[in-house]
Amino acid sequence: MLPLAPLPDLIEWLEATTTPGLIIGGLAVALLARPRLTHDLDLLVLLPEDQWPRFVEAARRYGFRPRIKNALALAHEARMLLMRHTKTGIEVDVSLGNLPFENEAVARGIKVDIAGVTAPLASPEDLVIMKGVAGREQDLLDIDSIIAVHPHLDVRRVRRWLRVFAEALDRPEILTAVAMRLARGRKPPRHRKRKK
Q: Give the tens place of pLDDT for each residue, 33-70.
A: 988 888 899 999 999 999 999 999 999 999 999 999 99
Residue-level pLDDT at 36: 84
**pLDDT for the residue 187:** 52
Bridge-based pairing of strands 110-114 and 117-121 is: antiparallel
- Please give the residue range of the domain that contains residue 127: 123-187
Domains identified in the chain, total number:
2
Give the span between the Cα atoms of 19 and 16, in whole angstroms: 8
Where is the domain boundary, 98, 122, 146?
A: 122
Buried b (16+ CB within 10 A) or exposed e, 160-178: ebbebbbeeeeeeebbebb
CATH of the domain at 32: 3.30.460.40
| Domain end among 122, 147, 178 | 122
Within a domain: 30? yes
Neighbours of 157 (CB within 10 A): 16
Kindly report the pTM of this predicted structure: 0.90
Among 108, 101, 87, 100, CA closest to 8: 87
CA dist 127 and 142 (Å) reads 9
Assigned domain for 37 exists = yes
With beta carbons less than 8 A apart as the criterion, state whether 21 and 120 touch.
yes
pLDDT of residue 1: 63
> Nearest Cα to 100, choosing from 156, 42, 160, 173?
160
pLDDT of residue 196: 45
Do 111 and 127 share a domain, yes or no?
A: no
Report the sign of the C-alpha dihedral through residues 34, 37, 41, 44, in that order.
negative
Mean pLDDT, rounded, of the chain: 92
Q: What 3-state DSSP class applies to 41? A: strand
Cα–Cα dist 38/35, whole Å: 9
Residues 46 and 87 occupy one common structural domain? yes
pLDDT at position 105: 98
Q: In which region does residue 63 sit, left (phi positive, over 0), alpha (psi from -120 to 50) or beta (all else)?
A: left
All residue ranges of the chain with pLDDT < 70 are 1, 185-196
